[in-house]
Amino acid sequence: MSVRSMPGDSLQNARASRQISVVFRKEEAVGQAADSGIPFGNKFLDRGTPYADIFRELNEMIGLDNVKELVYEVYAMLQVGQFRAEAGLVSNTHVYHMVFKGNPGTGKTTVARLVAKLFQEMGILSKGHLIEVERADLVGEYIGHTALKTRELIKKALGGILFIDEAYSLARGGEKDFGKEAIDTLVKAMEDYKNQFVLILAGYQEEMEFFLKTNPGLPSRFPIQVDFSDYSVDQLMQIAELMVKERQYVLMPQAEMKLRQHLVVEKLRQEDCFSNARYVRNIIEKAMRYQAVRILQQFQGSPSRTELMTIRTEDLKWEKKSL
| pLDDT for residue 3 | 52
Residues whose CB is less than 8 angstroms from the CB of residue 138 and which lie 6 or more positions away in sequence, other chains included: 146, 149, 150, 153, 164, 170, 179, 182
Q: d(Cα 159, Cα 130) in Å, to the nearest integer? A: 9
Q: d(Cα 281, Cα 247) in Å, to the nearest integer? A: 11
| pLDDT for residue 193 | 93
Name which of 255, 205, 204, 265 is nearest 233 in CA terms.
265
Q: At residue 286, what is the residue type?
A: K
| pLDDT for residue 32 | 44
Burial label, 37 (beta-carbon count in 10 A; 0-12, 13-18, 19+) = middle
Name which of 305, 275, 312 is nearest 290 in CA terms.
312
Helices (H), the chain: 9-17, 32-35, 52-59, 65-86, 108-122, 135-138, 145-157, 179-192, 205-213, 218-221, 233-246, 253-269, 276-298, 305-309
Q: What is the DSSP letter of 315?
A: G
3-state SS assignment for residue 6? coil
Say if CB 251 and CB 314 are below 8 A apart.
no
3-state SS assignment for residue 250? strand
Question: What are the per-10-residue average pLDDT scores of the chain (323 residues)?
Answer: 49 45 42 59 76 87 90 86 90 89 93 92 92 94 90 96 95 77 92 92 93 86 93 96 96 97 92 88 96 94 94 90 54
| pLDDT for residue 35 | 52
Q: d(Cα 185, Cα 157) in Å, to the nearest integer? A: 14
| Distance set, CA 133 to CA 5, 124, 163, 263 (Å) | 10, 22, 6, 30
* Ramachandran sector of residue 159 (left: φ over 0; alpha: ψ -120 to 50; beta: rest): left
Give, in degrees to the nearest 5, the angle at Cα 309 between 303 and 312. 95
| pLDDT for residue 227 | 94
